[in-house]
Structure 1
Amino acid sequence: MVPLILSILLSLTSYASPLNACPKCGTTQVPYPLSTTPDCGNPNYKLSCNNHTLLFSSAGNFTYKVLTISPNTNTLIIQPPIIDQSTCQSSDLGLNGFRIEDDSPFNISKSNTVMLFNCSENILLSPLNCSSISPCRLLAEQGIGCRNRLCCSYLKDSSMTSRQIRLRIGGCSAYTCVVDFKPRQTVDAWNFGIELQWLPPN
């Protein structure tokens, strides 16, 4: 009886496993199903590890640093692109901002407040918050988000695409994002990042 129990336990241990999990990238654990090489994780959940830094690639192959991973909620947070303050343009403007492939298991979660900067006045016709009390104004006043440029904010929700943060010349040319934005928090307490969630593999 004891050998049978041991055999079952061993089979469960191998199923759960170190064989499917990818090795750490630097100090960051890479939990299943996330994958950094073809022989670990699930290749549909592809990330890359470059110089001990974990990276997420957009549909245009622009890479964003992975800041945190929460396997219990199937979420990870990536670093927003750099904003050139002299031109008020995000570094991924040439790719029209951030976009995830349509067949990807990842999408942009509803925990993100997106702040758009250097916008044309056409955006005032949209339902976005472009008022003097918009969160982006707080950021701009501290010199972080393109001072004296039209800016607007919005919370990602089901009425907007969950796979894109769109930029374009003649629209808005820069953006950043805050996860779980709370109006009463000071800017230095904001959690800057873009939270992505993934669907569990079948």
Structure 2
Amino acid sequence: MVSLLHSLLFPLIPFVYSSVSSCPKCGTMDVPYPLSTKGSCGNPKYKIHCNKTEGLEFISSDGFHYEIININSTANRLFIMPPLIKEDTCQSLDLPVGGFRIEDDSPFYVSSRNTILLLNCSDNILLSPLNCSSNSICRQFEENESKCMDLLCCSFLKDASMTNHRIRVRVEGCTAYTSVVDMKPGAPFHLWNFGIELQWLSPF
């Protein structure tokens, strides 16, 4: 009976182990559980992409690739690079897909530590509760980066009162954006921490 039980259970051990193990490094970056770069490791719901040339990437639901800069597995956070802004047109590279978006049922979401700067906005944005005044920090971005200079811009802190699964840009609204993580009031521009911080829910 013992040997029969052993023979029935033993084949399951490698399967159970592989389903909870971390994925191998991608370049120099660790891929901690539950993040998954392939079906044989991590949790497939937490899928990210290992680009052998560029490194780890987060792929939005619209198929746009964002470079992963840092992963904090203790805090369930990963940090991605905002898309580049075309200097001549003040448009984010992901404008054609409407900006950053992940599915509503995804375990990932945009954290509340992100301050979003919306750039090159139409007058329609003035009807929103966003800070589009002359003292908005988006003005400091314009002055220091010389991108989208002298155009209407707005800023807001991402919070639970709005969708935490997208940062929207569109031709009829704002055509570009960036994000600053953990923005400190009055912090000089050179200390701004540019990036989009995503958090993930722990697997059950």
When the two structures are superposed, what TM-score results if normalisation uses the length of structure 2? 0.89
**2:112 match: secondary structure:** coil
Map residues 94-133 of structure 1 onto 2, 5 A cutoff: 94-133=96-135
Which residue in 2 is equivalent to 1:24?
25
Equivalent position to 1:175, from 174, 177, 188: 177
Structure 1 CA distance, aligned partners of 2:146 and 2:39?
39
Structure 1 CA distance, aligned partners of 2:17 and 2:51?
27
One-letter code of the match for 1:128?
L
1:171 Cα shift? Answer: 0.3
Which residue in 2 is equivalent to 1:3?
none
Which residue in 1 is equivalent to 2:73?
71
Map residues 45-194 of structure 1 onto 2, 5 A cutoff: 45-52=46-53, 53-194=55-196
1:143 Cα shift? Answer: 2.8
One-letter code of the match for 2:193?
N
1:188 Cα shift? Answer: 1.2
1:16 Cα shift? Answer: 8.6
Q: Is the 8 A contact 1:47 1:57 kept in 2?
A: yes
5+ long unaligned stretches in structure 2: 1-15
Which residue in 1 is equivalent to 2:9?
none
Instruction: Call closer, same or farther: CA 1:16–1:38 in 2, change over 3 Å.
Output: closer
5+ long unaligned stretches in structure 1: 1-14
- Which deviates the most, 139-148 or 122-131? 139-148
**2:179 match: secondary structure:** strand
Instruction: Call closer, same or farther: CA 1:119–1:86 in 2, change over 3 Å.
Output: same
Structure 1 CA distance, aligned partners of 2:198 and 2:179?
12
1:144 Cα shift? Answer: 4.5
User: What CA RMSD, in Å, does the superposition of the two structures yield over aligned residues?
Assistant: 1.6
How many residues are matched? 188
Structure 1 CA distance, aligned partners of 2:18 and 2:47?
18
Q: Is the 8 A contact 2:18 2:41 kept in 1?
A: no
Residues 42-76 of structure 1: CA distance to partner in whole angstroms, max 9, x if unpaired? 01000011125000000101000001100111000
One-letter code of the match for 1:178?
V
One-letter code of the match for 2:178?
T
Residues 128-153 of structure 1: CA distance to partner in whole angstroms, max 9, x if unpaired? 00111111100001134411110000
Instruction: Call closer, same or farther: CA 1:139–1:72 in 2, change over 3 Å.
Output: same
- List structure 1 runs of 4+ shifted beyond 2 angstroms: 15-19
Structure 1 CA distance, aligned partners of 2:30 and 2:83?
23
**1:191 match: secondary structure:** coil
- Which deviates the most, 51-60 or 73-82? 51-60
Which residue in 1 is equivalent to 2:36?
35
